[in-house]
Structure formats: structure tokens, C-alpha cells
Amino acid sequence: MTKDRPIDLAALDAHWRAANYLSAGQIYLMSNPLLTEPLAPEHIKPRLLGHWGTSPGLNLVHTHLNRLIKDRELDAVCIWGPGHGGPAVLANSWLDGSYSQVYPDVGRDAAGMAELFRQFSFPGGVPSHVAPETPGSIHEGGELGYSLAHAYGAAFDNPGLLVTCVIGDGEAETGPLAASWHANKFLDPVHDGAVLPILHLNGYKIANPTVLSRIPEAELDSLLTGYGYEPLHVTGSDPDKVHHSMARAMDHALERIAECKRSKGRPRWPMIVLRTPKGWTGPAEVDGLPVEGTWRAHQVPLANVRENPEHLRQLEAWLRSYRPDELFDAEGRPADQVLACVPRGELRLGANPHANGGLLTRALPVPPLEHFAVPVDKPGATLHEPTRVLGGLLAQVMADSAEHRNFRVVGPDETESNRLGALFEVTGKAWQAEVLKTDEHLSSDGRVMEILSEHVCQGWLEGYNLTGRHGLFSCYEAFVHIVDSMVNQHIKWLKTARQLPWRAPVPSLNYLLTSHVWRQDHNGFSHQDPGFVDHVLNKSPDVVRVYLPPDANTLLSVADHVLRSRDYVNVIVAGKQPCFDWLTLEEARAHCARGAGIWEWAGTEDGTREPDVVLACAGDVPTQEVLAAAALLRSHLPDLAVRVVNIVDLAKLLPHEEHPHGMADLEYDALFTRDQPVIFAYHGYPWLIHRLAYRRAGHANLHVRGYKESGTTTTPFDMVVRNDLDRYRLVMDVIDRVPGLATRAASIRQTMADSRTRHHAWIREHGTDLPEIADWTWTG
Amino acid sequence: MTKDRPIDLAALDAHWRAANYLSAGQIYLMSNPLLTEPLAPEHIKPRLLGHWGTSPGLNLVHTHLNRLIKDRELDAVCIWGPGHGGPAVLANSWLDGSYSQVYPDVGRDAAGMAELFRQFSFPGGVPSHVAPETPGSIHEGGELGYSLAHAYGAAFDNPGLLVTCVIGDGEAETGPLAASWHANKFLDPVHDGAVLPILHLNGYKIANPTVLSRIPEAELDSLLTGYGYEPLHVTGSDPDKVHHSMARAMDHALERIAECKRSKGRPRWPMIVLRTPKGWTGPAEVDGLPVEGTWRAHQVPLANVRENPEHLRQLEAWLRSYRPDELFDAEGRPADQVLACVPRGELRLGANPHANGGLLTRALPVPPLEHFAVPVDKPGATLHEPTRVLGGLLAQVMADSAEHRNFRVVGPDETESNRLGALFEVTGKAWQAEVLKTDEHLSSDGRVMEILSEHVCQGWLEGYNLTGRHGLFSCYEAFVHIVDSMVNQHIKWLKTARQLPWRAPVPSLNYLLTSHVWRQDHNGFSHQDPGFVDHVLNKSPDVVRVYLPPDANTLLSVADHVLRSRDYVNVIVAGKQPCFDWLTLEEARAHCARGAGIWEWAGTEDGTREPDVVLACAGDVPTQEVLAAAALLRSHLPDLAVRVVNIVDLAKLLPHEEHPHGMADLEYDALFTRDQPVIFAYHGYPWLIHRLAYRRAGHANLHVRGYKESGTTTTPFDMVVRNDLDRYRLVMDVIDRVPGLATRAASIRQTMADSRTRHHAWIREHGTDLPEIADWTWTG
């Protein structure tokens, strides 16, 4: 161990006191920020909002990180898991000047301090949590559980970066956080940065003790050692002693990290367990009940300051206990001692460019699609597995990004199963634990990340994206619901960040949902759910994009687009099973650029007749069934004018006013007509199409088929029959909906119904689909 | 320690071999189940589906559980986390006779065995996973992560029950599972049963090694010790040795459990770490590549048996290696030695009534609502916090269920915050870890369960419900999305279970979503999301119910209904903030029974005029804004005929054919008219109402306001203004939509717009809502 570095305890304490003062000030004060006059009710905010309990602990960590960064010129960011302690992080970024840099109206002086206080949790002001508006942040601590996964995501492929991560003992009870500890088995000491978790045990959540604070310390150490860390303890309530102990622990952690970076084999990374009182330095008792050190300190310790003179008195005593006159000069500027530990420029935690990752984003080298496209002489003559074709493109992107290491593919153990195995020709799967001879593709520096936790995959990718790098999450469609709430939060983040001029756009979060509802016939009902699309479409249209490419070349074109995009959440739903090739690459590009279009070759378009019926489709399996239905109609009802419309970009169906991709009504009507029957075969829940298109002129004639929760272990075609999405049913729908056909085509309708009956009998006997289905090809 | 119990290794091995034979048989064989003739391609299924890899391990556990149960007459169930190993659990329940008991067409003889094989993963047959169709199961292992939480849920308040839980090493990587280990801090040795986790390390997932199998055993032990368990290891691949070691470990675990049940203080419960090869006893190598002991054994080890004679030969050798002629007699009945370890009657794992919990369900003692209802002399004259009123009812239910202990309330640290604190007058919060003087309401036998993990809360309650007991999950509305995927799976379970005559109905899973989108003004955007309702309404209408009670008495009436119901997922959205009382208890009951109705007193109904406009509302905040809008219209446009419709039961809006609660069109039209403008103020995303009502006659005149992702930290009224749901906007909507009003009421419209402008200016200056809003009361 190297010689102990000097610690200026008085300076650290001054910075910490200043941050504590500013934190409490934000919660309480409307004016009189420097307490230049005696505190009066009119100085107090009318609504007291904010979380005090965690703030002193966050301030302690920030103060000591400042010292560490300044002393060593460290490139470091911090993930504030208890992000509801917004006042603390805001206080610190005001102190280091980064706040005033992006918000010049909140200067580092008395007027700025007054505005810092006033705007906090105030209408038109800033949120009470760490949020996109907070400089230096890539993590909102509202919905707990994701801090540690974000931290690892930020550290991957940033070998010079230290990512500290404060984990509250409340958050530590969540599943995603509990799973994230094991991310250290995926962190490469050579190509990745370091993660320093700081588990902050302040003992209480909103109303309850926390589990990890109430098990014996030896048991906690056993747990953390079992997670693969070396815990360093900092415990206490005496500020001087804690400062000393914290500084030493941080120095020690940095030395251990340096050793880990040099070590061979899987290192044991250090972490800090910080045990300090909740609401530390705040009121010890209020109205005769203990507050400091208890759950009562979680939010606003003194609740009735405006009305209750004793509360007002206590607040003034509390604020003055930090000795603000020593901390700020008469103009409200922080004293030199306060700023002694604060680093400069981009080393400040509030100004590190990794926390505004768009600044560092380097465009992905997406190669020409021509190298990967499948040849299509005529529609439907050949079959390819779309995701396998995509795998070729992704492998090339992976190879071409080897130098800058700014692309990763994550997934819960499904990359190979999702037919993206070409990636393993150019990179491995990240893995630091034991390797056996029977393993394949594991490597310490691989950029495919597989852990059986969708939460951790999502958290990694969010952290990677928000620090400016690119990625793709490939997931079974049904199980992406596991991260519903995480994607909610990420979309909210992006929506807000897009409105902040100082935040540079970051790479989009890209999902490839495959092993989808129609081809989980072997895994059954539990694996059949197409509702993620519905879920994301509730969110901000500025951020959300949904694509359903119907074949291999359209998937390539969509992937090309999303890998270049910024600030979106892109959801691609595409199958991995053999699928007919419908479009050449050129046609695919044109179709994807439009987002929705008429497939003339599939219908009876001759440029003269209006269609009698429109067959619309979105998704690979619905497209196949619609084309099969179109072929049946052509042979059984050759005089019927049939139009086939395919939708790749689902938001095209929305009104233009509701989504930037939405079609104008004229455009919509040109595809779907204003008054002819539309039979729409959709990949997911049919009512979603109604929810998107209900304002359109032709809506009353829109009849949608899709998945309606009829699933089990069965054959692929039986899945579509069970959900009334099959070609025979679609033809029956046409006959039922086109005026005049019901009688004229009654026998054809019966033929279709008979085919369905034959299907049922056949699969019960043979367990496979009818030969006419299994061998079907398009003969347009 | 007591004297070692005898082990009949030969009998255990015979049972295990039989189960392995039957497992492989299900995956491969269409006929020739006893291999009475040489295996031929026509005996093989046309599609080979199923998961072999985990099956031998599950069979080992089941065999040894049989011995344990039989020897000790144990009341035991097992949660099969690797439920994709369906063949194993089906094989065992066929062996113990419970399968034939519920499915008499699958007898315990050669014909039955043939049918057991044929139906597996076959159209019209049974799913490939453990599912509701599987006797003895309460857990489908499709979406991984929930086994251990289910196990604890089953154990609570079942003091005589042993709940074993097999956890795959894949599943162990998930967040929910990682969090669930800590459930031992909530298990009362006196009033609860025991949970025996069996962590099955077979080393591989689909394509990757597992984390826990690749860390040193000492590190794993440290982790499990840190979780609070005492790990017992069973490792090997020699069946005889493993049988011996497993039997001893199970005996030892039972003795430790008995000690734990007697101990004072927090016990250290035993668990078993079982390390055996993946695909154990299956083909060692196929096509020159290792299979047994690798990820290649995950699903179907020999994939081309019909086409490849060498694969066929290998399959036959594999099946015959179990010596089926020793295991089954000529009629296919299991030999006596095979059945020697199998317990009888309800002690069989396939027949234990706890795994068909409806059999044991005892109705909750729901007291008369009159004791808890709030008096309402006239609408809108008083305010109550609805959830606090509900808390009184729940406390009484909790008190009255003390004897049978069949009711629990779960939540992530929010019971008090959600104003249900009355519960703590009659019970405590379950807690086995350290207790300090500053804690409140903790007790070892409490029936309120709080852990900061929505996943664990949900898993506990599912396990508790499925074993026949009642409960309520109170949750912040935004964060219930964390369990989106879990509720998906639970609804799928209930949908299927309802169709099985042998499964008795179980208590419904009840959500109270409070701290909802409109009143998270202090926590901001991350806490604002009403989309869970959209999510569940995609699922089976046989199971899903959604209620939005607008005041305290309607909340009581809804709660009364859901606590008595069976086999549903009930979602109640209700606020905790002071809310006007609109209905007396009697009115509330009548209104809830209808689910939707006209509030004559709120509109201008006089029995003679058709309304010029309908103001509809669903949710407490929208109801208040609609009533305020109605009052504004009454004063500004006294001649306008206004109808107010309130919807409690959201599914009423659906067509009757789509949901059992859906209104017939006539009924809908009688409320909403067929052609008058309807301004609908809805709690959540406005397009949900369109998705429900798009088939109604008046849909083109339906104009919905709701939450549209405009959120931040602000005031309650500013939240509705930001989302255009406020009273002024609603009046403007009326003026814009009612023919002829645009001109006549232009100045009134301007007055409304001015009020919104005034609002904006006021909150920016004062940080509070306009006095006219804060002090508003209904004066109908």
C-alpha cells in the first residue's frame, strides 16, 4: 500500500456542511437564503417537498469524491441510487459551478442561491429527484433498483473511468439491484472501467427498517463477499471520525482498484459499506419523537414550519448549525475552504462529459446493406431467417467498432437462440468467471453480454447508451415485459433530456423482439405475449418508434435506421424462423422509408379500379397469412379487386398530430380508402390498431384480427387458427364484409370453413400442420 | 441429531430411473411406450419438443421428496422453478397415480403411458411446461424468477407445511429470485411453514454457463450464508452416491428445520445445493460433440431421430439404459420397487390439496360496511381520504381472520403512506431481523408484509392466493408496472385453471393502486404512470376486473366485492388524498352494482329533456373535475342540458361480447346517448377509452381527456391543467363540441381560458393552487 495521502478534514467538513445547508435550504426556503435576517414564516415555502433523509449521506459521498478526483485527476462519474435526494446532488453541482454553467440564471451567488432554493420542487422549477435536468446525472432515482446496472453499463468500454454508485439500503431490497451485484463477473479489468459500489445503510426506508441494516455485520460481509466484493466499512455519526474513515476507505478502494486492473484472473473488486444516520445533522427530535436516525427523517423532518413557531425555531437552529456565515461570503459565494476539495473543469462530477454522453458519441460504422441483403428474384420464392440475416450485419458492425469499442449486444442467454450467432465470429461473450472446455465463445473482453436477467441487460444498455455508446437488446418478445417499468423510466428520461439544449443526443435504445408470439408454439402460453408494443405506445411519441419488418431485407433496412438514430426507443419485432423473402433490398428501403405502402404485386392493382377490399398486415406471420389469403381470393374470386397494404412503421397509423411519423388523413385514405372494408391482420392485440386508427375516416370499416390470448403448445399454423388470424378466416372475413359477397361466395366461404375443420382433425392425429400449409408458397 | 433413517437405495434408483424413462418417453415417443418392439422411426413424434436437461435433476428431487414424505407422513408441496422440465413433473405424478386421478383417460398402465407420451407438447394435448394442467403445481416455470417467492407465499400461515423449492441456476440469475432469498427475514417459525430451497446447479442455461455454478464453492457458500441460510451440498454424477448423499442431506435438512421451528430468535434455515450434470443419464455425445453435462442437453439432445438411424440407435440405447422391463410390468404398471417410496393419498405431491388451494379456501369474514362508511348528507359536502376509510375495513377483516390467519396485506413499504395504518392496530409487520426501539409495528407474527420489492410482494401474494388464502397488494400506481410480467403470468394461470374442473376456485389477486398519477405532484414525472390498467385489459376478460371508485363509500363497496371474489385479478385505482364524498353507502352499493350510471343530481336531469352533452368520468380526480365543470356550466349556461355519467367498473364500456361485464349497446346508449357529444374525463391514457368503446354508436362523438405524459413536480391542479383534464378545459370542450355553442358561448369560453392563464401566473408566483381551486366545493 502506498503512503497515506493527506486529508484536510476541516475543508472536507466545510464542503459537507455547505452542501447540507444548501440541501435543507432547497426544501424550506423561499427567500432569505443566507439567513441574513431572523427566519420568519414568510421565508418558508408554502408546500414543503423533498427528501432530507438520504441527503447528508449523499453529500458526504460527493464531498469525498471531490477530494479523490481532485487529488488524482480522476475521470469519474457517480450514479446516485437514492436519486430522490435531489437536493444533495443539486447542492453539490451548484457548489462546483457546473449548475450555473448550464443554468446561468442560477449563479453561484446569493441571488443564484435564492433561485436554487425557490425553484426546487416548485411549479415551473426543477423536480425533487435527480433527473435529466440535473447536471452530471444519468440516473433518476425515482423507481429504485437500477443504479448498479447503470453503473456497470457506464463502465463497460471506458477503461479510464471510475463509476461510483451509491446504493440505498432500500433500493438494495429490489430484485434488479440484487441481481446486479453479479455484474462484476462481466467486467473486464483491461477494457472496462471500474465500478465502486457504496452501499449506504442509513437503516430505514419510508416507514420500515431495511433488511441489510438489520442483519449482523458478519452476515452482511458474507453476502457481499459472496457477491464477489471486498467490503470496506465506514460507520459512525461523529463527522470528524467519519470524514477520516471515509477518506481512508476511498483511498484504499482506489488502491485496490488499481491492483484489480493489474491482476490476472477474476479480481475481487472493493466496495464501501457506509453506515450513517438517516437525516444526519438534522433535528434530533420533533414534537417529542426521535427524527434523526429514524424513518421520520425520510422526507421533511419539520412539517409545519410556517404555522408552528417551535418548528420555525428548530429549523433556524438547524440551518444555523452549519454556520453558513463561515461557508459563504456576503455575496453568497462559497468560501475558499468550501471549494478547496472541488476539482476543475470536466473533472467536476457535475460536468463530466460521460454523464452527458451525447457529447462523446461517435457514429457507428454501419456497413452497406448490400453485403448482407438476400437476393429476391421474385416475391415469396425463397425463405430466410430474418434475424440470422441481421446477425451478419451486426457482426460486421461489431467488427468495425472493434477499435473504438462502442457497440454491445445484450440479451438474457438468447443471442444464439435468436440466430445472431454470427456475432461470435468477431467477438465473444463477456465472462470473467471460470471457463470449462465445453464452453463456447466466452471471453474476458467479449462485447456480447448474456445474463439471465432482463433487468440487468436493460440496465447495462441504458447506462451504455446514456454514456454515449450504441447497442441492441435482443429478447424473447413475451419476456420483455419484465422491463416494462424500466423502459417507462428510460423513455421519460429521454423525453425530458430532448428538451434540454445542453444535453447532446445519445444513441437510441434498440430492442429486437424475436421468438415472438406466433412462434412460441413449442414453449406455450407462458411465452406468448405481444403487448410490449401497446405498452411503449402509451409513452411519448417524440421518443417511441415501433417497427414490424415482414422479411429479411426490411429487417436490415430497419436495423440500419435504428442503429444510426438518436434519443429514441426503437422496438423491432421480427421472427427468427424461416420467413418468405418478399422485397429486394431496394424495395425494402423504399418501403421502410414510407413506413407503410401498397404491395401492388400482391393484390389486383391495375391502376384503374378502386379496391373492393383492402387486406392490411403488420408483422411477418400476419403478412404471410394475408398474402396466402390474397392468393386464395385470386383463385376463388378472380374478379374481386384486392389491395394489399403492409405496415412496417406502426406509428404511421396514428394521426400526424399525435406522432411525428403519423400519416396525414389524405395519405391514410390513399392507402386504405375512405369507405371500403379493411381486413387488417396484425401481429399483436387487435384493439391496438383501433386505438391507433380510430380517428380515420374509414374506421367503421376496419376489421382487425390479431392475437387474443388463445395460446398453448401447438403447431405454428394452429396458433393462427386459434386466434382467427389464418388465411381461411381472413378470406371468410372478406366474404362477410364486402357487400354482396355473402350470397355469391357462400360456397367459397364453406370451402374455407372446411379447410379449418380439416386442419383441426389433421393436427390432432398427426401433430403437424396440413401439408398444404407446410408446403405453401406464394405464386403471385 | 437423531439416528440415521434407513435408505433403500435400490428402490430410490428404480423410481428415479422410471421417472427418467417416462420423461424421455414424453419427448420422443408416439407409440411403443414400453419398447416391446425395436424402436423404429414411426414410433417417434414428428416434432420433438421439450426440455430434457433439467428433468433428471427434478426427478431426483421428486424421488427423494417421496421418500421423505412417506417416511415422515409430511405435509409437503414442491415449487418446480425449472418448470420447463414439464416431462419430469408429469412423469412423477403419473407414477404416484395423481395424474390418472384427475385425468382418468391417462391411466397408470401401458395405454395410459402411451397417452401420457403422445399428448405431451402435442396439439390438443398438454403444455411442455409445468402448468395449471399439471396436478400438484402452483407454479409455471416459463418466465423464470418467481419460484422462491411463491414458495414463501405458500408457507405463510401454513405452520405444518413443508414447501420445497427447486431453483435452477439460470433462474437464480434473475432479479426477483435474487431478492427472494431474503424472504427468510419474514418467515415466522411459529405460525408459518418451512421453506426448503434446493439450488440446482447443473451448470448451463440455454447456451451459457451459469454464474453461480462458476464461482468457487466457498464464494457460493459465503453468498448463501449471507442470505441467511445453511447450505448443504450434494454433488456428483454417480447415481448411487448421489442418492445416498441426497437422502442424508434431506434428512439433515428436516432435522435442522425442526430445530429452527423450536428456536428463539431468527433461525438459520437449511437449504440444499444440488450439483449434478445437465441432461444427466442422457446421451454423453451426439455427432461427436459432448451433450450430457453441457448446454447442448437443454432441450432435445438427439434432434433427428426420425431421419438419422444413428440418432435412433442412440435413443433406443438411452431409453433401454433405464431397464424399463424391470420398472414396469407387461401391462405397463409400475413395479412394486418403483412405487416403494411413493406416499399415499393427499400426501402425494401430485395430490396435496395445498397445490389446489381452492379446496382449502375459507371465505373471508368481511364485516358489514355500515361500520366503516362515511356519512354523506349531501354530495360533495365533506372530504375523506378513501384509502384511510378502507383501512378501517381491512383492519376489521384482519382482526376477524386472526384465528384462521388467512388474510395478508403486502406492499413495498407503503402501507402507512397509503393510509392503511389502521391495520397496525390489529396486527404488525412481519419481521424476524433485529428490532430497535425506534421501530414501530414490527412483530414476528405480523400479517402485513413490507419489503421494498414489488416482485417479492407479488410473488408472496400469488403463492398465498394459489394455496387458498386471501390478500391485498397496495402499491404506488406507477411502480406496479414492475410486476407487469408477473401479473401476465398469473392471469394466464387463472385463465387456464378456470377451465379445469378439478381445480377449485382460488381467492382473487387484489391490487389497490394508490398514490396515483394525479397526486404524485411531489415526486414528479418518474412517479406518474396510469398504464397498468391498459396492460391488464389486454389479458383474458374472464379474469380481469378494473375498478375506479370515485369516493370513500364506493371504494368500500368495491373492496367488499373483490375480497369475496374468486379467480380474478382485481385492480382498484383509488386515491389516498382527501376526496369529496359523493355517495352514501347505499348509493355507492347501487352504483357499484351497476358499474356505471347517471348521477342525476350532478347534471340537469329532469326526466324530460335529452342531454345536450354528456360529461363522463372515471376515477376520483376526473370525477371532481367533471363535477366542477358541471357546476361551471350550470352557472354560465343554465339552459344547457348536461348529463353526468360516472364509471366505476371500466369493463362496462366494452361490448358485452368482449367482456362479461360489458354493457349491451342499448344500455350503453341509454347512458351516453347515440349521437350527443360525450366529454369523457378519464384517470389514465385517454386512448384506452376509445379502445374500449370504438364499437359504440356514439363513438364518433366521444372526446376523451386523460393523462398524456405531461408530468413533473408541481401542484395537484397544475397536473390536471398540464394534461387538459381541468374543469376549465372541460367546459371549453363542451363549448367546442356542442353544436351552436361556439358562437353563443364565446365569451364564456374566453373566461375559462383566462382562468387557465391566471392559474399559470399564480402557481409560478405562489407555488400553490389558486384559492378558488384549493377552496372549491360542490354546490349542486
* Residue A32 CB neighbour total at 10 angstroms: 18
- Looking at every residue in chain B, the average pLDDT score rounds to 96
- What the block records as the C-alpha cell of B694 is 370504438
pLDDT per residue as tens digits for the range B612-671: 999 999 999 999 999 999 999 999 999 999 999 999 999 999 999 999 999 999 999 999
pLDDT value of residue B3: 67
How confident is the model over A53-106, as pLDDT tens digits?
Answer: 999 999 999 999 999 999 999 999 999 999 899 999 999 999 999 999 999 999
In angstroms, the separation between the Cα of residue B759 and the nearest Cα of chain A is 11
A453-473 tens-digit pLDDT = 999 999 999 999 999 999 999
Query: In the predicted model, what is the mean pLDDT of residues B278-295?
Result: 95
CATH number of B9-346: 3.40.50.970
A5: distance to nearest CA of chain B, Å? 33
How close, in Å, is residue B364 to chain A by CA atoms? 28
| A409, β-bridge pairs | A448, A472
How do residues A193-212 score in pLDDT, each as one tens digit?
Answer: 999 999 999 999 989 999 99
- A542, A580 contact by CB (below 8 A): no
- Quote the pLDDT of residue B6: 86
Q: Do A175 and B456 touch (CB under 8 A)?
A: yes
Residue B638: partners with Cβ closer than 8 Å, 6 or more residues away:
none
Write the pLDDT tens digit of every residue in A743-777.
999 999 999 999 999 999 999 999 999 999 999 99
For residue A524, give the nearest of B47, B128, B525 by CB distance.
B128
DSSP string, A320-360: HTT-HHHHB-TTSPBPHHHHTT---GGGSTTT-GGGGGGGG
> How far apart are the C-alpha atoms of B134 and B102, rounded to whole Å?
10
What pLDDT, on a 0 to 100 scale, did the predictor assign at position A520?
85
pLDDT of A780 over the 80 cut: no
The per-residue pLDDT for range B245-282, each reduced to its tens digit, is: 999 999 999 999 999 999 888 899 999 999 999 999 99
- Environment class of B672 (CB within 10 Å of its CB; exposed 0-12, middle 13-18, buried 19+): buried
Q: Could B766 and A49 be called an inter-chain contact, meaning their C-beta atoms sit closer than 8 Å?
A: no
Question: Closest-CA residue in chain B for A496?
Answer: B525
Q: Across the interface, do B185 and A293 touch by the CB < 8 Å criterion?
A: no
Q: Give the model's pLDDT for residue A449.
A: 97
- Cα distance between residue A640 and residue A552, in whole Å: 30
Extents of the domains making up chain B: 9-346, 366-579, 595-774
Which tens digit of pLDDT belongs to each residue from A275-305?
Answer: 999 999 999 999 999 999 999 999 999 999 9
Say if residue B3 is exposed, middle or buried (CB neighbours under 10 Å; 0-12, 13-18, 19+). exposed
Please choose, from the candidates B346, B344, B355, the residue with its C-alpha nearest in 3D space to the C-alpha of residue B71: B344
Q: Beta strands B289-290 and B285-286: pairing type?
A: antiparallel
Closest CA to B458 of B412, B523, B401, B516: B412
Taking the Cβ of residue A687 and every Cβ of chain B, the question of whether any pair is shorter than 8 Å is answered with yes
Where do we find the cell 440516473?
A139
Query: So what's the pLDDT on residue A265?
Result: 82
A93-129 confidence digits (pLDDT tens): 999 999 999 999 999 999 999 999 999 999 989 999 9
First-to-final CA distance of chain B = 76
Q: Which residue type, as a one-letter code, is found at position A500?
A: L
Contact B64, B162 (CB under 8 A): no
Which pairing describes strands A442-443 and A642-647: parallel, antiparallel, or unpaired?
unpaired
Indicate the SS3 state at residue A573.
strand
Which residues in chain B (110-149) have CB-CB distances under 8 A to chain A? 121-129, 131, 140, 142-145
Question: Does any CB of chain A come closer than 8 Å to the CB of residue B482?
Answer: yes
pLDDT band of A189, cuts 50, 70, 90: very high
ipTM: 0.97
Strand order in the sheet with B596-598: B596-598, B642-647, B613-618, B678-682, B702-705
A659 touches chain B (CB under 8 A): no
Cβ–Cβ gap B209/A442 under 8 Å:
yes
Do B47 and A714 lie within an 8 Å CB cutoff?
no
Residue A37: strand, helix, or coil: coil
Interface check for B758 against chain A (CB to CB < 8 A): the answer is: no
Query: What pLDDT shows up at residue B2?
Result: 53
Give backbone dihedrals phi and psi of B231, rounded to 5 degrees, phi first: -80, 135
Q: Is 3.40.720.10 the CATH classification of the domain at A595-774?
A: no
Could you tell me where the DSSP H helices lie in B29-139? 55-72, 86-95, 98-102, 110-119
Q: Would you give the DSSP letter of residue B369?
A: G
Contacts of A119 (CB under 8 A, 6+ apart): A106, A125, A126
Distance from CA of A158 to the nearest CA of B (A): 24
**B289: helix, strand or coil:** strand
Show contacts of B106-109: CB within 8 Å, 24+ apart. B108/B332, B108/B333, B108/B334, B109/B331, B109/B332, B109/B333
Helix H or strand E encompassing A312: helix A309-320
- For the CA atoms of A291, A297, A302, A304, the dihedral, rounded to the nearest 10 degrees, stands at -110
Q: Do B47 and A767 make contact, defined as CB atoms within 8 angstroms?
A: yes
By Cβ distance, the residue of B45, B122, B144 closest to A452 is: B144
A33 min Cα distance to partner chain B (Å): 17
Q: Residue A656 corresponds to which cell in the numbers above?
A: 400526424
- pLDDT above 50 (res A1): no
* pLDDT tens digit sequence for B439-489: 999 999 999 999 999 999 999 999 999 999 999 999 999 999 999 999 999
Task: Please check whether residue B239 touches A, CB under 8 A.
Answer: no
Q: For strand A702-705 and strand B75-80, is the pairing parallel, antiparallel, or unpaired?
A: unpaired
DSSP code per residue over B698-748? GGGGEEEE---S---S--HHHHHHHTT-SHHHHHHHHHHHSTTHHHHTHHH
pLDDT of residue B520: 85
Angle at B20 between CA B17 and CA B22, to 5 degrees: 110
Calculate the alpha carbon distances from A487 to A183, A410, A465, A564 in Å.
20, 15, 13, 20
Task: Mark yes or no for CB contact B438/A290 under 8 Å.
Answer: yes
pLDDT at site A3: 67
d(CA A719, CA A717): 5
Q: How many CA atoms lie within 13 A of B266 on its CB side?
A: 22
Q: In angstroms, what CA-CA distances link A22 with A14, A319, B248?
A: 12, 9, 62
User: Across the strands, what pairs with B655?
Assistant: B663
| CATH superfamily of this structure's domain A12-354 | Thiamin diphosphate (ThDP)-binding fold, Pyr/PP domains (3.40.50.970)
First to last CA, chain A: 76
Q: Torsion angle of alpha carbons A21, A27, A33, A37, nearest 10°?
A: -100
Q: Helices marked H in A521-674 — which ranges?
A: 532-537, 552-564, 585-594, 620-636, 665-672
Strands A289-290 and A285-286: antiparallel
Helices then strands, each counted (H, E), chain B: 26, 22
Flag if B478 and A523 touch (Cβ within 8 Å). Answer: no
Please tell me the distance from the alpha carbon of residue B640 to that of residue A204, in angstroms, as a whole number.
Answer: 56
The answer to whether A27 and A126 have CB atoms below 8 angstroms apart is no
Q: Is A460 on the interface with B (CB under 8 A)?
A: no
Distance between CA atoms of A240 and A246, rounded to whole angstroms?
Answer: 10
> Whole-angstrom Cα distance, residue B171 to residue B158?
26
Q: The domain B366-579 belongs to what CATH superfamily? A: Thiamin diphosphate (ThDP)-binding fold, Pyr/PP domains (3.40.50.970)
Nearest to A294 among B47, B207, B438 (CB): B438
Of A214, A290, A694, the CB nearest to B433: A214
> Residue B90 contacts by C-beta under 8 Å, 6 or more apart in sequence?
B22, B23, B26, B99, B116, B120, B126, B134
C-alpha cell at A421: 450467432
pLDDT of residue B710: 93
Best residue in A137, A485, A708 to probe B by mutation, most B CBs within 10 Å?
A: A485
Is the CB of A290 inside 8 Å of chain B's CB atoms?
A: yes
With CB atoms and an 8 Å threshold, state whether A767 touches B45.
Answer: yes
Asked whether residue B1 carries a pLDDT value surpassing 70, the answer given is no
At residue B444's C-alpha, the angle toward residues B441 and B445, to 5°, is 90
Contacts of B178 in chain A (CB under 8 A): 175, 178-179, 181
Look up residue B705 and give its amino acid.
R
Cβ-defined contact of B522 to A49 (cutoff 8 Å): yes
Instruction: Collect all residues with Cβ–Cβ distance below 8 Å to A22 and sequence separation of at least 6.
Output: A87, A90, A91, A94, A95, A113, A116
Average pLDDT over chain A, rounded to an integer = 96
